Structure 1
Amino acid sequence: MKLYCYLFCIFLFASQKTLVAQYDFSGYVDTQHWSGDVYLSLIEDYRKLSGVYPEQIIQKTTSDSLGYFSFSGDNLPPENRMYRIHMENCSEDEKDAIHFNGFCPDSKEILFIANNHDSLTLPFSFDKEMFCKIVSNNQKSDAFIKVDSIIHEMRFAFASYRSETNRKLNVKKWFSTLQQYVQNQDEPLTELYIYAFLSDKANNLYAYYLEDLNTNPYYDQLLQRLQTKYPNNIYTNRYKAELASDKFLINSGENAPKNYWLWALFIVLISSIAINILQFSQARARNKIAKDLSKNLTQQEQKVLNFILEDKTNKEIASSMFVSISTIKTHINNLYKKLNVRSREEVKSLYINK
């Protein structure tokens, strides 16, 4: 009888442990360059994927003397969600002033997919880089890192297209490549990650996205996949609303009554004045930020920056600096990180009216 009771207790304990999900996210940070605080954020707005948003932070911990940190618990959603772990070198007094609209000039982050059942570690890379690799029991966790490598190739390729015709042809190819790749991952959240990038209104790809939306059934199919896997989820509802809004924008442009051109002209004029005022104030703020960030650039990176502002291609920059194109790509990648930008256009936007 005692044996049966003992076995029953073991079974009960094992069952409870199975039923209570437990996540464990851990990793290492470079304590020589980063302060000890590490933050875990749950991203429910895919328009705020990258950056520092206090409302997204759900846990804060401190790394030990070796740089090790860990988050654990059982309070995360059971389904996959988007998460961010980040560090920053901003003091508490500076955060409110510096973290405007999610921007942080001195932070390091990694995005991943996870749920309440997952174990995940962020080890150092072979060259002691942090937040570059994910090891997890969830096969979807490192999907964003894989996608970023393709986006990185796309950015460099896009910068080398000089004519608009050539850009359109190649952008169509890249759109198709990215969409096919993420669809094969069988995780709609990865597709949302790409969608957020391609459809960003601040992105110079936005016009191409609208053209693609008008002819490509992919976007409606993605909505179906989201509704199947994440019904009534905040991701799904937002995507559905944005899709309807963008389609309305396209249809409105195609079917605008011609006899309202005077009103349209008036609206454009007023909007232009308002936008110019806004852009002027934003340009002044960007110029100050750009000046501060430029201090962190090396001499070679500063040269590359100047060439980018002159609209030189990677090949032209490499020729002028007597180095290989791969070296230039490395400089540009480091420059992007230090300036907290993702494209040449964003680099140039920092130095408008400089």
Structure 2
Amino acid sequence: MKFQKYLLIVLLCFPFIGIAQYQFTGEVDKDNWPEAVYLSLIEDYRKLSGVYPEQIIQKTQPDSLGIFIFVGDHLPKGNHIYKIQTHNCSGTEEDNVHFDGFCPKSKEILFIAKNTDTIALPFSFDQEMFCKVVSTNQKSDAFIKIDSLIHEMQYAFGKYRSTTSQKINAAKWLTTLQDYAQEQNEPLLELYVYSFLSNKSNELHKYYLEDLKQNAYYDELLNRLQQQYPESPYTEQYRMELASDRFLSNPEEHTAKKPWLPIIAILLLLSVVLNLFQLYHHRKKKAVSHLLKEQNLTPQEQKILELILQDKTNKEIATTIFVSVSTVKTHINNLYKKLNVASREEVKSLYTSS
């Protein structure tokens, strides 16, 4: 049975050996994640996280060691956003909680790839799965790096709650996230940052609308998308959302200058409906996540959760449970995903409200 382990390494180091043009391989913890593994092609950047059947392009069952592989030659030639995901919900639970994509008992990882790439998802430290990407495509693991920056930003926002501090931090992190994504020379990474900043349930949304009034970055991103992805749904979706958000940020100016007010009004209405829709599902996610938290968290995550509720810092938590700070950060990241929150304050709010 060790053959599959060696095959995973060989496929990564010598991709030309494979017959198919792309090879996406990895491992899952069969004891805790026994279900099938899914490969999804994501063309709607508002549906990056969750279970969406219309996105799934391939399904496979891990072998007895937990190794899985996706192979083929039917993917788009250029870079696209992909997701590999598994869950451990029973059939009954799927019906109850897989509502419009939401699944509280799932593990997933995003990456960028094209039809000729070799991707491997090995276990990282502490045998964590879906936390590391090894690839022939230099862009593949950038989502993980951006997530790390976002978690730093969320920690800064949670630590200093004053309006003045948040305004200063918002300006800093808007620039930091946008600059990092742009430096990667891949507009899809910039879309990932944009989808986070422009999310109406995000604390940064009001600062994003202010930034939109004066920052040429957003038009420049549209130009980059049109040049590299001229026929892509990504580009058209971004163009439409940008127009809608511009109206939200400065309706008076656009009413005076634009003769196509009815179109903008429709976009605004759609934006409001989407906002209410996201708010409804945000509340539903929190409620279902809280309901399933006891059976969903590992013993180590339970300990870290208790220490977070006691206002312990990462360093204090690491000292208490005898692990490194980086390991604590990884556990906290997984804890956030399972509870469907983005910061310590949201964790505390979830349990306080209960």
Same fold (TM over 0.5): yes
Give the structure 1 partner of residue 241 of structure 2. 242
Tell me, in whole angstroms, the C-alpha distance in 2 between the residues paired with 1:292 and 1:286: 10
Deviates more, 1:100-109 or 1:235-244: 100-109
- 1:152-177 Cα offsets, whole Å, 9 max, x none, are 21111121112111111111011111
- 1:275-298 Cα offsets, whole Å, 9 max, x none, are 7xx96x985884454133245455
Classify 1:294/1:211 alpha carbon distance in 2 versus 1 (closer, same or farther; 3 Å). Answer: farther
Tell me, in whole angstroms, the C-alpha distance in 1 between the residues paired with 2:69 and 2:47: 24
Give the structure 2 partner of residue 137 of structure 1. 136
Tell me, in whole angstroms, the C-alpha distance in 1 between the residues paired with 2:62 and 2:122: 13
Tell me, in whole angstroms, the C-alpha distance in 1 between the residues paired with 2:70 and 2:52: 18
- 1:62-104 Cα offsets, whole Å, 9 max, x none, are 0001111111111111111000001100123432321112111
Tell me, in whole angstroms, the C-alpha distance in 1 between the residues paired with 2:175 and 2:27: 36
Tell me, in whole angstroms, the C-alpha distance in 2 between the residues paired with 1:284 and 1:118: 37
3-state DSSP of counterpart to 2:128: coil
Tell me, in whole angstroms, the C-alpha distance in 1 between the residues paired with 2:170 and 2:244: 23
Question: Shift in Å at residue 135 of structure 1?
Answer: 1.5
Counterparts of residues 198-209 of structure 1 (less than 5 Å): 198-209=197-208
> Is the contact between residue 287 and residue 352 of structure 1 (CA under 8 Å) also seen in structure 2?
no
Classify 1:300/1:217 alpha carbon distance in 2 versus 1 (closer, same or farther; 3 Å). Answer: same
* Alignment coverage as a number of residue pairs: 311
Give the structure 2 partner of residue 104 of structure 1. 103
Give the structure 2 partner of residue 56 of structure 1. 55
Taking structure 1 as the reference length, what is the TM-score of the superposition? 0.78
Give the structure 1 partner of residue 262 of structure 2. none
- 1:130-154 Cα offsets, whole Å, 9 max, x none, are 1111111111111111111111211
Give the structure 2 partner of residue 303 of structure 1. 306
Give the structure 1 partner of residue 124 of structure 2. 125
Instruction: Return 5+ residue gaps in structure 2 as ranges.
Output: 1-15, 257-271
Tell me, in whole angstroms, the C-alpha distance in 1 between the residues paired with 2:160 and 2:226: 37
3-state DSSP of counterpart to 1:101: coil
- 1:172-229 Cα offsets, whole Å, 9 max, x none, are 0111111111101000000000001111111111111111111111111000000000
Classify 1:349/1:127 alpha carbon distance in 2 versus 1 (closer, same or farther; 3 Å). Answer: closer
Classify 1:289/1:283 alpha carbon distance in 2 versus 1 (closer, same or farther; 3 Å). Answer: same
Give the structure 2 partner of residue 11 of structure 1. none
Does residue 339 (structure 1) correspond to residue 307 (structure 2)? The answer is no
Deviates more, 1:138-147 or 1:40-49: 138-147
Classify 1:136/1:239 alpha carbon distance in 2 versus 1 (closer, same or farther; 3 Å). Answer: same
Question: Shift in Å at residue 345 of structure 1?
Answer: 5.4
3-state DSSP of counterpart to 1:50: coil
> Is the contact between residue 61 and residue 69 of structure 1 (CA under 8 Å) also seen in structure 2?
yes
Deviates more, 1:145-154 or 1:105-114: 145-154
Classify 1:181/1:339 alpha carbon distance in 2 versus 1 (closer, same or farther; 3 Å). Answer: same
**What amino acid does structure 2 have at the position aligned with 1:342?**
A
**What amino acid does structure 2 have at the position aligned with 1:136?**
S
> Is the contact between residue 26 and residue 70 of structure 1 (CA under 8 Å) also seen in structure 2?
yes
Q: CA RMSD in A?
A: 3.2
Tell me, in whole angstroms, the C-alpha distance in 1 between the residues paired with 2:183 and 2:194: 15
Tell me, in whole angstroms, the C-alpha distance in 1 between the residues paired with 2:182 and 2:59: 33
> Is the contact between residue 308 and residue 344 of structure 2 (CA under 8 Å) also seen in structure 1?
no
Identity, in percent, stands at 58
Give the structure 1 partner of residue 70 of structure 2. 71
Tell me, in whole angstroms, the C-alpha distance in 1 between the residues paired with 2:33 and 2:102: 17
**What amino acid does structure 2 have at the position aligned with 1:129?**
E
Classify 1:27/1:296 alpha carbon distance in 2 versus 1 (closer, same or farther; 3 Å). Answer: closer
Deviates more, 1:285-294 or 1:35-44: 285-294
Counterparts of residues 309-328 of structure 1 (less than 5 Å): 314=313, 326=325
3-state DSSP of counterpart to 1:24: strand
**What amino acid does structure 1 have at the position aligned with 2:85?**
H
Tell me, in whole angstroms, the C-alpha distance in 2 between the residues paired with 1:172 and 1:126: 34
3-state DSSP of counterpart to 1:59: strand
> Is the contact between residue 104 and residue 288 of structure 2 (CA under 8 Å) also seen in structure 1?
no
Counterparts of residues 34-45 of structure 1 (less than 5 Å): 34-45=33-44
